[in-house]
């Protein structure tokens, strides 16, 4: 029974692995038996994740990569296959913050949000798909999307939300295109998670006004902000054989946020 949920001996690439959800996921995949290639812009912090993966007893390969750069992405996947073996899985988890009201949003900010948060998902997915199709043994991809891919957040999140809506459709299109090759593509939709990026925003009162954190918690029926480790189980499930017939889904990891209508707040 438990073999269904193992990733024993699989090779995975995780992007955004230097911190936050990407780091928690990389360590979680290793704890479930995978060898992990780690990609991020931040080479220094990536080396820490690499050490932690090795300490858990699995192989790790840190490759400083800008996931918006085609050549660097190609090199990431070539090195992964050369040094760790044929690719079984990819998790996309990079993030760049853009928090500006639509009427003030510059073209540069709009394009940066889409370039990192959407193109930065497409390029690794395309590279992974190519490698998996060439090998002919299928594979699995998980895109870390957001509740913002389905519902609107306001508060200057327009460029971010549009990029996440793009990740949602990228997930569905790839699931449909690559199902014939046995490649499953799914997405996770986290609500607010206590990552370094999230904490930095809440330490800046200009970005997030007083009371917003409490308002967010109120909108989560489970009554708390998530922790990075909360995404590990859902990602492991989607990559594992336990999810072998699961393809093209959006799995909220949001404590019930998307399920709840705003009008139901304060029911009790
Ligand atoms: N934390 C939350 O509350 C939350 C909620 C919903 C969705 N998400 C999503 O989860 C994912 C991870 O978010 P996080 O909170 O862990 O972010 P984070 O800021 O803590 O980490 C993101 C990582 O991405 C890396 N990165 C940025 N641009 C890159 C590039 N061009 N190439 C390579 N690496 C790059 C950064 O260096 C950083 O290490 C994102 O897609 C985010 O939208 C997060």
Whether 141 has a pLDDT exceeding 80, the answer reads: yes
Mean pLDDT of the chain: 96
Query: pLDDT value at position 247?
Result: 99
CA neighbours closer than 13 Å in the CB half-sphere of residue 168: 17
pLDDT band of residue 266 (cuts 50, 70, 90) is low
23 lines ligand 1 (CB under 6 A): no
d(CA 29, CA 25): 6
pLDDT band of residue 267 (cuts 50, 70, 90) is low
Query: pLDDT value at position 45?
Result: 98
Query: pLDDT value at position 5?
Result: 95
Q: At what angle do helices 120-135 and 70-83 cross, to 10 degrees?
A: 40
163 lines ligand 1 (CB under 6 A): no
User: For the segment 230-265, what is each residue's pLDDT rounded down to a tens digit?
Assistant: 999 999 999 999 999 999 999 999 999 999 998 887
- Annotated active-site residue in 95, 160, 178, 237: 160
Domain-by-domain residue ranges, the chain?
2-195+227-250
Query: pLDDT value at position 268?
Result: 63
Distances (CA, A) of 75 to 66, 123, 196: 11, 12, 28
Per-residue tokens: 144: 């870390």
Per-residue tokens: 111: 């394009």
Q: Look up 160 and say whether it is catalytic.
A: yes
Percent of the chain with pLDDT over 70: 98
Neighbours of 223 (CB within 10 A): 9
- Name the more confident of 268 and 122: 122
User: For the segment 73-84, what is each residue's pLDDT rounded down to a tens digit?
Assistant: 999 999 999 999
d(CA 51, CA 60): 8
d(CA 223, CA 94): 26
The topology under which CATH files domain 2-195+227-250 is Rossmann fold (3.40.50)
pLDDT (mean) for 156-164: 98
196 Cα to the center of ligand 1, angstroms? 9
User: For the segment 30-56, what is each residue's pLDDT rounded down to a tens digit?
Assistant: 999 999 999 999 999 999 999 999 999
User: For the segment 65-120, what is each residue's pLDDT rounded down to a tens digit?
Assistant: 999 999 999 999 999 999 999 999 999 999 999 999 999 999 999 999 999 999 99
Q: What predicted TM-score, i.e. pTM, was given to this entire model? A: 0.97
66 lines ligand 1 (CB under 6 A): yes
59 Cα to the center of ligand 1, angstroms? 23
């Amino acid at each position: 029974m438990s073999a269904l949920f193992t990733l024993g001996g699989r090779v995975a690439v995780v992007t955004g692995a230097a911190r936050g959800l990407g780091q928690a996921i990389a360590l979680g995949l290793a704890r479930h038996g995978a060898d992990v290639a780690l990609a991020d812009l931040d080479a220094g912090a990536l080396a820490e994740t690499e050490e932690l993966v090795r300490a858990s007893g699995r192989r790790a390969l840190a490759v400083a990569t800008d996931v918006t750069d085609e050549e660097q992405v190609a090199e990431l996947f070539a090195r992964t296959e050369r040094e760790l073996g044929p690719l079984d899985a990819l998790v996309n988890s990079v993030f760049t913050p853009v928090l500006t009201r639509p009427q003030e949003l510059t073209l540069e900010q709009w394009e940066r949000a889409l370039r990192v948060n959407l193109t930065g998902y497409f390029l690794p997915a395309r590279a992974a798909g190519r490698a998996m199709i060439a090998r002919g043994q299928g594979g699995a991809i998980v895109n870390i999307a957001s509740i913002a891919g389905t519902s609107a957040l306001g508060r200057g999140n327009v460029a971010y939300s549009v990029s996440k809506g793009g990740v949602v459709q990228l997930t569905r299109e790839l699931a449909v295109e690559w199902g014939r090759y046995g490649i499953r593509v799914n997405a996770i939709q986290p609500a607010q998670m206590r990552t370094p990026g999230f904490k930095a925003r809440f330490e800046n009162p200009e970005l997030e006004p007083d009371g917003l954190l409490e308002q967010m918690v109120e909108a989560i029926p489970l009554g708390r902000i998530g922790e990075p480790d909360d995404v590990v189980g859902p990602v492991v499930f989607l990559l594992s054989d336990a999810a072998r017939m699961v393809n093209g889904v959006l799995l909220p990891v949001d404590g019930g946020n998307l399920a709840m209508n705003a009008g139901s707040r304060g029911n009790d």
